[in-house]
C-alpha cells in the first residue's frame, strides 16, 4: 500500500542464513570457500516511526524473537548494542532525513551470533526493506555495497562471503581478490540435508578473525600451508558436489574440521558434537563460520532425524537444513 507521498506504509524483506561448507577464515586470506543458504533467516518490517519520536531520535530498530535487543536508537542514552547504533548511523548517512522516520522491526528464525550468517542476513534484509519502503529501485551492486559496509561495521574485516551467499540465495564458491571477489554458483547433483547443532555463543566474528590474524603473524608459513590445504579441500569439494559424491563431501568436511582445530577455532564442545554426529552415521561434521562456539554442521545420509535427536538428547539446540539442487532461497 502507498501513502500520499507514494511510499509504502509497511515494507517487508527477508534474507536467509548460511552455512560455510569449507573455507571459513581461510577465505579472508584468499582461499576458495563454499557456502550455502539455509532455510531459516531474518525478516525485517520497515514502517513509519511515531511522529513524536522522529525529531529527536529516529531511526529505530526493534529486535524481536531470537533477535531480542529491545529498541535501539542512535542517541547515546539509548540502550542497545553499539554496533547496531553504528549501523543506524550508516543508514542515516545513506538515506539522510528519510531515515529519521523509520521504525525497523527485526525478527526471524535464525539464531543470532552462532556463525549462521545472522549479521549478513540482517544487513541484506535491512537494506532491501528500506529501499522497498522508500519505493526506490535497488540495483544488485548497490545492495552489495551497502551490505559490505554494514558487514564491516558488524565484522571488522569481512571477506564478503556471508552477504554474497545470503544475497544470491544459492550454493556458491567464493574467492576473494585484491578488489572484490570471484563468485560462481555450484549446481548440486543431489539435494543435501545438514543437521545443525548449536554449541553456544561465540566471541563474535570480529574477534575470531582478529585473533586468528594475530596467531597467523606468529606462524606465518604454517598458517599459509593450512590455508592452501583448505583451498585444496574446496576444489575437491566443488567437484564432489557437482558429481553428487556425498560420501566425499562428508570426508572432506572431516578433514576441514581437522584443519580448523589446528587453527585453534574448535572447542571441546564442537569436537564433542562432531563425535556425536560421526558416531551416529553422519557422512561428515565440522564447525561452520567463525568458530570458538557457534554451530556444528553434520551431513546426513538419510539419518537426519536420528542426528537431530542425538543432538537434542545431548542437550543442544538442533536444526535441520535441506539444500535443494538448485537452491533459490531468498524467499522473494
Residue of the chain from 32, 41, 63, 162 that contacts ligand MEV (CB under 6 A) = 162
Q: Which residues within the stretch 260-319 sit at the binding site for ligand MEV (CB under 6 A)?
A: 289-290
Q: Would you say 131 or 259 has its CB closer to ligand MEV?
A: 259
15 binds ligand MEV per the rule CB under 6 A: no
Which range touches ligand MEV (CB under 6 A), out of 3-11, 60-68, 159-167, 246-254?
159-167
In this structure, the dihedral spanned by the alpha carbons of residues 165, 281, 230 and 36, taken in order and rounded to 10 degrees, is 0
Query: All 3 cell numbers of residue 323?
Result: 539444500
Q: Least separation, in Å, of the C-beta of 136 and ligand MEV? A: 28
34 binds ligand MEV per the rule CB under 6 A: no
Residue of the chain from 15, 24, 259, 323 that contacts ligand MEV (CB under 6 A) = 24
Q: Would you say 265 or 330 has its CB closer to ligand MEV?
A: 265
Q: Would you call the peptide bond into 276 cis, given omega within 30 degrees of 0 as the criterion?
A: no
Convert residues 176-215 into a mask of x (bound to ligand MEV by CB under 6 A) and - (unbound).
-----------------------------x---x------
107 catalytic? Reply is no
Q: Which residues within the stretch 106-125 sit at the binding site for ligand MEV (CB under 6 A)?
A: 115
Q: Would you say 161 or 329 has its CB closer to ligand MEV?
A: 161
What span, in angstroms and rounded, lies between the C-alpha atoms of 268 and 13?
38
Which range touches ligand MEV (CB under 6 A), out of 60-68, 155-163, 187-195, 236-244?
155-163
Which range touches ligand MEV (CB under 6 A), out of 156-164, 218-226, 239-247, 305-313?
156-164
Q: Least separation, in Å, of the C-beta of 329 and ligand MEV? A: 17
159 binds ligand MEV per the rule CB under 6 A: yes
Q: Which among 162, 301, 304, 328 is annotated as catalytic?
A: 162
What is the binding site for ligand MEV (CB under 6 A)? 20, 24-25, 27-28, 115, 155, 158-159, 161-162, 205, 209, 289-290
Looking at the annotation, which residues are catalytic?
162
Amino acid at each position: 500500500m502507498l501513502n500520499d507521498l507514494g511510499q509504502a506504509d509497511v515494507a517487508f524483506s527477508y534474507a536467509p542464513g548460511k552455512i560455510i561448507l569449507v573455507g571459513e577464515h581461510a577465505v579472508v586470506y584468499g582461499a576458495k570457500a563454499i557456502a550455502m543458504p539455509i532455510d531459516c533467516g531474518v525478516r525485517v518490517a520497515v514502517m513509519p516511526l511515531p511522529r513524536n519520536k522522529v525529531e529527536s531520535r529516529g531511526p529505530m530498530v526493534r529486535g524481536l524473537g531470537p533477535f531480542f535487543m529491545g529498541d535501539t536508537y542512535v542517541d547515546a542514552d539509548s540502550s542497545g548494542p553499539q554496533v547496531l547504533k553504528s549501523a543506524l548511523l550508516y543508514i542515516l548517512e545513506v538515506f539522510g532525513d528519510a531515515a529519521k522516520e523509520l521504525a525497523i522491526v527485526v525478527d526471524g528464525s535464525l539464531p543470532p551470533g552462532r556463525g549462521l550468517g545472522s549479521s549478513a542476513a540482517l544487513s541484506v534484509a535491512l537494506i532491501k526493506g528500506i529501499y522497498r519502503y522508500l519505493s526506490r529501485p535497488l540495483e544488485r551492486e548497490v545492495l552489495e555495497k551497502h551490505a559490505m559496509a554494514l558487514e564491516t561495521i558488524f565484522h571488522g574485516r569481512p571477506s564478503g562471503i556471508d552477504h554474497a551467499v545470503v544475497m544470491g540465495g544459492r550454493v556458491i564458491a567464493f574467492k576473494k581478490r585484491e578488489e572484490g571477489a570471484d563468485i560462481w554458483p555450484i549446481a548440486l547433483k543431489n539435494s543435501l540435508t545438514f543437521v545443525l547443532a548449536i554449541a553456544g555463543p561465540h566471541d563474535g566474528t570480529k574477534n575470531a578473525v582478529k585473533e586468528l590474524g594475530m596467531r597467523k603473524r606468529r606462524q606465518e608459513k604454517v598458517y599459509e600451508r593450512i590455508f592452501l590445504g583448505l583451498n585444496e579441500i574446496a576444489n575437491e569439494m566443488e567437484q564432489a558436489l557437482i558429481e553428487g559424491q556425498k560420501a566425499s563431501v562428508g570426508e572432506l568436511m572431516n578433514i576441514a574440521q581437522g584443519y580448523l582445530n589446528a587453527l585453534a577455532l574448535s572447542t571441546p564442545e564442537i569436537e564433542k558434537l562432531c563425535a556425536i554426529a560421526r558416531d551416529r552415521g553422519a557422512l561428515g561434521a565440522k564447525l561452520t563460520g567463525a568458530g570458538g562456539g557457534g554451530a556444528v554442521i553434520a551431513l546426513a545420509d538419510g539419518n537426519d532425524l536420528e542426528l537431530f535427536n542425538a543432538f537434542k538428547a545431548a542437550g543442544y539446540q538442533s536444526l535441520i537444513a535441506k539444500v535443494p539442487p538448485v537452491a533459490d532461497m531468498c524467499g522473494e
